[in-house]
């Protein structure tokens, strides 16, 4: 290499800027820029895939595996889940939550408590269209529960019954059909419709034994057998059973609904007029016989 060439190279290096990150460039043609083309496969699909329902935002249903045998058909049938979508559900309320409602004056213990009372607190909701049939009173907080209440629920365990009765209260398990539950979750909306209060239907065959069992405090059980079961449960859990006959709140503790009744103090067939603040009662013998049957 001649001296002239070396001098020219050194002169060029002296005039060029120092090499750094901001002046480094790729070799021409080494990087191809993706452009949005107009052809069938000329550009990016923007995360939507290639044709089909995915690109058109017509999403596949849950469980569909694009033509393959789906998961729930690849494995054997489990009898445990047979009819699971038809089973009655009971959203839970614990004894601790109930005690908190009493302590914060959201629930008045001087009156009987039922599903209407708890829904009016705004802290409990059920959805009958999702096969929810009422309250499941759970045993969380059973050791600190002290409220003397007359409560009606749809499902309760033995420990829950013992906790309520140990505090001097009374508990009843009662069944409500779908139509009755729709009336109870929002009574004001129901009364504004101006239609008669319907009859409560009897429990279905698979639930009749539960609500006729004195040990479960069913509303269809014999009251004498319920008194005997109260004593048996007190002896089993080792507490002194309060004598509700000597309690000053005895009328409140013994208040019950008729098996056809939905609301306390309101009979089937009555029409509640909220605007005029009057109650319309049927007078025809045929209607009276229908609603009392």
Give residue-wise pLDDT tens across range 120-139: 999 999 999 999 999 999 99
Can you give the pLDDT at residue 40?
Answer: 54
Count the domains in the chain: 1
Read off the pLDDT of each residue in 57-69 and give the average, rounded to a whole number.
81
Whether 160 and 97 have beta carbons less than 8 Å apart is answered as no
Whether 151 and 118 have beta carbons less than 8 Å apart is answered as no
182 within domain boundaries: yes
Split at pLDDT 50, 70, 90, the class of 270 is very high
Can you give the pLDDT at residue 38?
Answer: 52
Domain of residue 215: give its range.
Answer: 85-265
22 within domain boundaries: no
Split at pLDDT 50, 70, 90, the class of 242 is very high
240 within domain boundaries: yes
Distance CA 163, CA 147 (A): 10
Q: State the Cα angle at 177 between 136 and 110, rounded to 5°.
A: 55
72 within domain boundaries: no
154 within domain boundaries: yes
User: HSE on the CB side for 49, CA within 13 Å?
Assistant: 9
- Can you point out the beta strands (E) in the chain? 92-94, 136-138, 150-153, 155-156, 170-173, 271-273, 278-280
204 within domain boundaries: yes
176 within domain boundaries: yes
Neighbours of 120 (CB within 10 A): 16
64 within domain boundaries: no
Q: Encoding tokens for residue 106?
A: 């959201």
220: three-class secondary structure by DSSP: coil
Can you give the pLDDT at residue 102?
Answer: 95
- How confident is the model over 88-109, as pLDDT tens digits? 999 999 999 999 999 999 999 9
Residue found under tokens 């750094």: 20
Q: Which helix H or strand E contains 223, and what residues bound it?
A: helix 223-237
């Amino acid at each position: 290499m001649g001296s002239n060439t070396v001098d020219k190279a050194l002169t060029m290096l002296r005039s060029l800027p120092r090499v750094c990150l901001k002046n480094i460039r790729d070799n021409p043609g080494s990087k191809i820029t993706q452009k949005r083309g107009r052809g069938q496969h000329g550009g990016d699909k923007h995360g939507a895939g290639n044709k089909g329902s995915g690109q058109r935002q017509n999403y596949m249903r849950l469980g569909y595996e694009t033509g393959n045998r789906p998961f729930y058909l690849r494995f054997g049938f489990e009898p445990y889940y047979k009819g699971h979508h038809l089973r009655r559900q009971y959203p839970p309320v614990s004894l601790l939550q109930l005690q908190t409602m009493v302590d914060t004056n959201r629930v008045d213990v001087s009156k009987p408590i039922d599903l209407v009372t708890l829904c009016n607190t705004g802290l409990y909701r059920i959805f009958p269209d999702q096969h929810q049939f009422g309250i499941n009173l759970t045993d969380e907080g059973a050791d600190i529960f002290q409220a003397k209440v007359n409560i009606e629920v749809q499902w309760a365990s033995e420990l829950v019954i013992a906790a309520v009765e140990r505090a001097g209260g009374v508990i009843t398990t009662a069944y409500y059909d779908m139509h009755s539950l729709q009336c109870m979750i929002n009574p004001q909306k129901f009364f504004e419709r101006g239609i008669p209060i319907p009859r409560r239907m009897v429990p279905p065959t698979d639930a009749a034994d539960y609500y006729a069992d004195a040990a479960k405090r069913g509303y269809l059980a014999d009251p004498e057998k319920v008194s005997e079961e109260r004593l048996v449960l007190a002896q089993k859990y080792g507490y002194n059973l309060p004598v509700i006959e000597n309690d000053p709140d005895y009328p409140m503790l013994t208040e019950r609904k008729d098996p056809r009744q939905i609301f306390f103090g309101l009979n089937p067939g009555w029409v509640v007029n909220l605007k005029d603040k009057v109650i319309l009662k049927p007078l025809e013998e045929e209607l009276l016989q229908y609603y009392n049957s």
